[in-house]
Structure 1
């Protein structure tokens, strides 16, 4: 397992830029790595979102704050979920994580970040690979956002505690 992790890290460190005929670097997408990240994120989210078809809100207590997952939109083959961290500033000395909107593709079993801090689409169609550009986006912003989501979800799975709504005799506690 450690060898697989090392190979994956080494592959990600390799430059995704290769020179074209003009001497300018051209971004090359590593589609297999991107799809692997999206597949893994879908599995992580399904662990964090039990009863996805019935519920619309989940809260997980984490060291230094709370992760709130909320269903934004449901359709036949997709579900959009927002992830927001409520940080306790007295306990946390780090930056607040960005609010993410993630689309789950149930037919493909993939999850992809579509917005970060309300800005989207992340790495949208026709991203200008020259930097700086009007949107100040790098060519690999979409894969970076999905890798970040994966790391954040792993942290939540390892350190989070679910908040449960207790209902007894029709009364909510």
Structure 2
């Protein structure tokens, strides 16, 4: 008797994914450096950890930012590193790289050699959503007051 192995391919819910990316876009805009020039950085403290949001590339319709953990690392766990692309025309933001990996596929067959989850891309963007909510609600950042324009 032979057993047939059937694989149910993961099909992502596009409306659910786009809603998540829209929420990420709105929250990430609140955390970006005021100046959107390449190389601009904003540091955020969340609990005992510090993070830097760096503008890597600024094009007409897209903005690439990297989020890097600067302090508060846990031994045995690599520090957070994400590259997020903001699509200004569509008003969505999604992770395009994480932990220095080249590319995240929309879905993975399971099992796979690197043990990615079927919905790895959605899970990473859901993590980004949770992280952004925590930063917006509980994070601390240095305010860059412009004394010359009368703000202080």
2:25 maps to which of 24, 34, 42: 42
Does 1:31 find its partner at 2:11? no
Counterpart contact for 2:20–2:125, Cα < 8 Å: yes
Runs of 4+ residues deviating >3 angstroms: 92-97, 164-169
- TM-score between the two structures when normalised by the length of structure 1: 0.72
Deviation sequence 1:81-135 (CA, Å, 0-9, x none):
000122335xx789565210000000000000001111021126xx5413123x4
Correspondence for 2:125: 146
Structure 1: unaligned runs, 5 residues or longer: 1-20
Count of matched residue positions in the alignment of Structure 1 and Structure 2:
144
Structure 1 residues 36 and 43, CA gap change in structure 2 (3 angstroms): same
CA distance in 1, matches of 2:129, 2:43: 18
Shift of 1:165: 4.8
- TM-score between the two structures when normalised by the length of structure 2: 0.81
Structure 2: unaligned runs, 5 residues or longer: none
Shift of 1:162: 1.1
Give SS of 1:25's match.
coil
Shift of 1:163: 1.5
Counterpart contact for 1:61–1:163, Cα < 8 Å: no
Shift of 1:62: 1.7
Correspondence for 1:118: 100
Does 1:66 find its partner at 2:45? no
Shift of 1:58: 0.4
